[in-house]
Amino acid sequence: MDILVCTTPGEFSYQKAEKPVSREGNTILKIKRIGICGTDLHAFEGTQPFFNYPRILGHELAGEIVETDHAEFSVGEAVTFIPYFNCGKCVACRNGKTNCCTTLKVSGVHIDGGMVEYLSVPSYSLVHGDGLSFDELALVEPLAIGAHGVRQADIQKDEFVLVVGAGPIGLGAMEFARIAGGKVIALDINDSRLEFCSENLGVEYTINALTETVIEKLSEITGGDMPTKIIDATGSLRAINTAFSYLAHSGRYVLIGLQKGDISFSHPEFHKREATLMSSRNATRADFEHVTQCMKKGLIDPKTYITHRVAFSQVKDQFESWLDPANGVIKAMVSLD
């Protein structure tokens, strides 16, 4: 079968590999769609934490079951899967937090992923397609990241929620913050992405951090209160550190974005707010199921995120162009039909 390997930062190589064979506890998928995410882009750049080369990227996946030993799934069924493979035994797993297992292996990050024709995955990770298209199924995972961050934030009806970063993960956080009843404010430095938030997601409030005074604008929008919930989806050290100053007294700040450096903030300012700082890592099955149900109910239409489509054979030539903001990429989708 054909595979695509990121051999070193900035380099891809198409190679041949043996098709995976059946083994107990695993399911073989014929990959149909691969969504390109920030992790893939950062890995290509060489800026992704916890990463080694060579690596087969890809964990936003949809496929068709070729072989399975799972009694609740059938050959030929369209599925996605939870690409965070956990031990099931550690303290996090025992407490239902399989998303932050102490020995977690993420497909396409710690182990080889889905830029392949066929992929073997643990059968316990499968998620039913429930009639969703391959495009939709490939978008469940990134949306689940945003949904999990929103769940961490514990958003209440009509509270102001600032989402920093209008990339795919940030867009998902905005969608699920809206579904949770929050009043969403989008903050980014790219006008076209902010326009996308307004026109496609119905986000009422947008702020460009390069052209507007963020604190003044937030105070105006919130009636002087400032946002009680902030979600970072940038992974930018500067953006993360700056957003502490935007937080309301008694507020909660959730970091979905990840970067390599140390964050820093004023302890007195944080303390007087009695603020809460939380991380949000990956997602759980509950988040995946919440996403699929919201899709089925028409509460979210992720296909609007797909701005670029390519065949698997074109990925090597096209990938670097997706790093350029001028190309307007929100979500690139790879087809293996």
CATH code at position 125: 3.90.180.10
Residue among 156, 179, 143 at smallest CA distance from 306: 143
* Same-domain check for residues 190 and 215: yes
Bridge partners of residue 232, in order along the sequence: 164, 255
Query: Is residue 284 included in any domain, yes or no?
Result: no
Query: Is residue 287 included in any domain, yes or no?
Result: no
Distance CA 283, CA 146 (A): 8
* Same-domain check for residues 113 and 179: no
**Number of helices (H), then strands (E), in the chain:** 11, 17
Residue in this structure with the two tokens 């995955």, named with its chain if needed? 121
* Same-domain check for residues 253 and 134: no
* Same-domain check for residues 237 and 312: no
Cα separations (Å) of 213 from 194, 209, 246? 16, 7, 11
* Same-domain check for residues 228 and 111: no
What is the per-residue DSSP string for 96-123? Answer: T-GGG-TT-EEBTTTB--S-BSEEEEEG
* Same-domain check for residues 225 and 259: yes
Cα separations (Å) of 330 from 42, 266, 273, 311, 319? 15, 34, 35, 17, 13
Distance CA 105, CA 90 (A): 14
* Same-domain check for residues 225 and 310: no
* Same-domain check for residues 127 and 155: no
Query: Is residue 289 included in any domain, yes or no?
Result: no
pTM above 0.85, yes or no: yes
Q: List helix spans (H) across the chain.
A: 38-45, 91-94, 134-138, 140-153, 168-179, 191-201, 214-221, 237-243, 267-272, 285-296, 315-318
For the chain, what is the domain count? 2
Residues 6+ away with beta carbon under 8 Å from 257 = 165, 169, 232, 233, 234, 235, 236, 239, 240
* Same-domain check for residues 270 and 306: no
Residues 6+ away with beta carbon under 8 Å from 117 = 1, 2, 3, 19, 30, 31, 312, 336
* Same-domain check for residues 166 and 258: yes
Mark residue 35 as left, alpha or beta (left: phi above 0; alpha: psi -120 to 50; beta: remaining).
beta
* Same-domain check for residues 107 and 85: yes
Query: Is residue 27 included in any domain, yes or no?
Result: yes
Q: What is the mean pLDDT of each run of 10 residues along the chain (337 residues)?
A: 95 96 95 94 83 93 97 97 96 96 94 96 96 96 97 97 96 97 97 94 96 98 98 94 97 92 93 97 97 96 91 95 89 94
Query: How much is the pLDDT for 100?
Result: 96
Q: CA 91: distance to chain centroid?
A: 24
Say which CATH number the domain at 161 has: 3.40.50.720
Residues 331/139, Cβ–Cβ less than 8 Å: yes
Query: Is residue 15 included in any domain, yes or no?
Result: yes
In eight-state DSSP terms, residue 288 is H
Query: Is residue 74 included in any domain, yes or no?
Result: yes
Residue among 167, 240, 242, 162 at smallest CA distance from 203: 162
Q: Note down the domain range covering 111.
A: 2-138+301-335
Distance CA 9, CA 44 (A): 5
Query: Is residue 23 included in any domain, yes or no?
Result: yes
Distance CA 210, CA 217 (A): 12
Query: How much is the pLDDT for 261?
Result: 84
Query: Is residue 98 included in any domain, yes or no?
Result: yes
3-class state of residue 65 by DSSP:
strand
* Same-domain check for residues 244 and 315: no
